[in-house]
Amino acid sequence: MFKLQNSVRRYLSFTLLLVMALGFSPGYAQSAPDKTTTFNTLVDELAEGSLSKRIKTVSAIATLKHERSAIVLSALQDGSLKATRGDPTLVVIELEDDSLLSAQTGALISDDLGRLKRIPIHNKLRSQLHTLVAQLNLSSPDKAVRLGAVNRLITDGGNEETATTLQALRASELDSGVRDAMSTAIAMYNIQSDDANVRLNAVKQLQGSLIPEVRGPLAALADSDPDKAVQQEAQQALESIEGRLKVFRFSENVFFGLSLGSVFLLSAIGLAITFGVMGVINMAHGELMMIGAYTTWVIQQLLPNHIGISLFIAIPSAFVVAGLVGIAIERGVIQFLYGRPLETLLATFGISLILQQAARSIFSPLNRAVSLPEWMSGSLQINPALSLTFNRLYILLFGLMVFFALLTILKKTSLGLKVRAVSQNRPMARAVGVRASWVDALTFGLGSGIAGIAGVALSQLTNVGPNLGQAYIIDSFMVVVFGGVGNLWGTLVGAMGIGLLNKFMEPYAGAVLAKVLILVLLILFIQKKPKGLFPQKGRAAAD
């Protein structure tokens, strides 16, 4: 009996030891509830005790590797981790818009917590937080978080412990972009080494890097490093970086020039039709773009929770609204002034003033902001030296789509055939049965509708106001005259050419002087080629 009791006692003792070993052994993960409870306790301890105790608490939070460890430590590092003054103490994260989140759960706090106190840190703890946050984020399963952590280390600088951590993680990193960033961060640390060979290898690794933080240390080495080999290698690295930067700056200028050209294309393509086919100098063309922009704003007000859908609805709506206004202008005024271009100029200028005042009366003189859809916000980051904004990229593609759609209409449809016939020889077109007045009305409506579509695109680049179209009417006429009156391909080439020329001249001459110089160059060009790059062909083309 005694032996049985001893056996049972030994069995129970062994079981208890086994349970304790499973509960506290590093080889077994702490259960989720226990881990969350420990994390919550540690976060509460951040608001209490001395700074030396806070250093130990911070280390414990980082070692715990809770899903919110990096968030809380980052908030402590940037000063947004705060605590209530009452009892019990509540630890919160204060966002930029003054809203509060629970540090433990991330839940939004709607209650008034009164005055909050910032949880203080000193330089030693700040350095420790920098390392711990980077280590936590570097182990994140999210590639973007890892890359952001490495880039932050490059920007803020690192220490020996961080460099050692990066070296250990680089070997197992699967993403090439993150791995390259880690190599750059390690080289940025090694470039400060006392060993000339280490500095030389680090400089070789940084050669051609486009990260802005790299150029400062390289310039310092090129100027004053005691080792001549390091100096020469740093100078070569700087020249290599500068060469790559010139290429990407040129590419960026080309992109912005083409995007500006696409805006000119959209604003001028409708004018090319009306001016080329009908010989009407339409000074109200800019106001038709304004109508398209206001149509976009109105539809967005009707569908405030569906910004992306409202933009797609606005495109045909703006075409119809501006087209109908254009037909009304043609039927009400323009049809009585054919053959008298100066009178059409004066009449349409008066109409433009009427439309501007109507916009002020209906929508007020204040500018209206049109929200960008989420998929048009931000930019496409090609590399640290080159990024393409999504709104301009989409407008460039949209402008080309409108151009080719209009080209198809003019080449493949009955209306397009009649428009081309009237534009080339109006009397002959009438002689074969084409109703020139009907073609004039539809052509003016088509050109006005495209101006409305241009207004939709402009609303994604700037605020909508009564004077929106005035900024583009002169540029539109310049594009049409430069490309060749009534020639769509000439309008495309003219728009892109003027856009590129504008962007490449702006850094040297300024925005205003660049436009003046382009106008002077255009006048000189017209002296040599009065009909533009692509003049119209036909028996009446010389008239």
pLDDT digits (tens, 9 = 90+) for 172-207: 788 888 888 888 888 888 888 888 888 888 888 888
Q: What is the pLDDT of residue 215?
A: 84
Q: What is the pLDDT of residues 338-373, one digit of tens each?
A: 778 888 889 999 999 999 999 999 998 888 888 888
Lowest mean pLDDT among 227-241, 372-386, 526-540: 526-540
Average pLDDT, the chain: 82
**194: DSSP letter:** S
Please report how many Cα atoms fall inside a 13 Å half-sphere around the Cα of residue 401, on the Cβ side.
Answer: 10
* Local structure of 109: helix, strand or coil: strand
Q: Do residues 319 and 452 touch, judged by C-beta distance below 8 A?
A: yes
CA–CA distance, 487 with 13 (Å, rounded to integer): 96
pLDDT band at 376; cut points 50, 70, 90? confident
CA–CA distance, 531 with 525 (Å, rounded to integer): 10
Q: What is the pLDDT of residue 434?
A: 81
Distances (CA, A) of 489 to 482, 533, 534: 11, 10, 8
CA–CA distance, 94 with 84 (Å, rounded to integer): 12
Indicate if the pLDDT at residue 27 is higher than 70: no
Q: What is the pLDDT of residue 4?
A: 39
CA–CA distance, 324 with 154 (Å, rounded to integer): 57
Q: What is the mean pLDDT of residues 258-278?
A: 84
DSSP string, 18-87: HHHHHHH-TTSPPPHHHHHHHHHHHHHHHTSS-HHHHHHHHHHHHHHT-TTHHHHHHHHHHT-EEEESSS
Phi, psi of 81 (to 5 degrees): -90, 120
As a whole number of Å, the end-to-end CA separation of the chain is 127
CA–CA distance, 3 with 521 (Å, rounded to integer): 112
Q: What is the pLDDT of residue 18?
A: 38
Indicate if the pLDDT at residue 82 is higher than 80: yes
Contact residues for 478 (Cβ-Cβ < 8 A; gap 6+): 494, 498, 518, 519, 522
Percent of the chain with pLDDT over 90: 18
Q: What is the pLDDT of residues 90-129, one digit of tens each?
A: 888 888 777 888 888 888 887 777 778 888 887 778 777 8
Please report how many Cα atoms fall inside a 13 Å half-sphere around the Cα of residue 344, on the Cβ side.
Answer: 20
pTM of the model: 0.73
Q: What is the mean pLDDT of residues 151-155?
A: 76
Indicate if the pLDDT at residue 12 is higher than 70: no
Q: What is the pLDDT of residue 393?
A: 92
Q: What is the mean pLDDT of residues 129-147?
A: 78
Lowest mean pLDDT among 151-160, 245-254, 310-319: 151-160
> What are residue 156's DSSP bridge partners?
none
pLDDT band at 157; cut points 50, 70, 90? low
Q: Which among 58, 103, 53 is positioned nearest to 81, based on CA atoms?
A: 103
Q: What is the pLDDT of residue 5?
A: 45
CA–CA distance, 239 with 252 (Å, rounded to integer): 20
Q: What is the pLDDT of residue 277?
A: 67
Residues, the chain: 543
Q: What is the pLDDT of residue 350?
A: 93
Distances (CA, A) of 100 to 71, 83, 84: 14, 11, 11
Q: What is the pLDDT of residue 16?
A: 38
Q: What is the pLDDT of residue 324?
A: 94
Indicate if the pLDDT at residue 17 is higher than 70: no
Q: Do residues 202 and 145 touch, judged by C-beta distance below 8 A?
A: no
Phi, psi of 329 (to 5 degrees): -65, -40
pLDDT band at 382; cut points 50, 70, 90? confident
Q: What is the mean pLDDT of residues 20-37?
A: 52
Q: What is the pLDDT of residues 443-478, one digit of tens each?
A: 889 889 999 999 999 998 888 999 888 888 888 888
pLDDT band at 144; cut points 50, 70, 90? confident
Q: Do residues 502 and 514 touch, judged by C-beta distance below 8 A?
A: yes
Continuous segment of H or E residues that includes residue 91? strand 91-94
Lowest mean pLDDT among 238-242, 289-293, 485-489: 485-489
CA–CA distance, 378 with 7 (Å, rounded to integer): 72
Distances (CA, A) of 398 to 30, 296, 392: 55, 16, 10
Q: What is the pLDDT of residue 23?
A: 42
- Which residue carries 């509060």 as its tokens? 100
Q: What is the pLDDT of residue 139?
A: 74
Q: What is the mean pLDDT of residues 86-93?
A: 80
Q: What is the pLDDT of residue 537?
A: 60
Contact residues for 137 (Cβ-Cβ < 8 A; gap 6+): 70, 145, 146, 148, 149
Q: What is the pLDDT of residue 187?
A: 85
Q: What is the pLDDT of residue 396?
A: 92
**121: DSSP letter:** -
Using left for φ > 0, alpha for ψ between -120 and 50, and beta otherwise, residue 436 falls in alpha
* Local structure of 116: helix, strand or coil: strand
Q: Which residue has the higher pLDDT, 12 or 342?
A: 342
> What Rg value do the Cα atoms of the chain yield, rounded?
34
Q: What is the pLDDT of residue 66?
A: 81
Distances (CA, A) of 117 to 81, 83, 93, 141: 9, 5, 11, 34
Q: What is the pLDDT of residue 536?
A: 65
Q: What is the pLDDT of residue 31?
A: 54
CA–CA distance, 483 with 491 (Å, rounded to integer): 5
446, two tokens: 């088509």
Ranges of each domain in the chain:
140-226, 248-365+398-528
2, two tokens: 């005694």
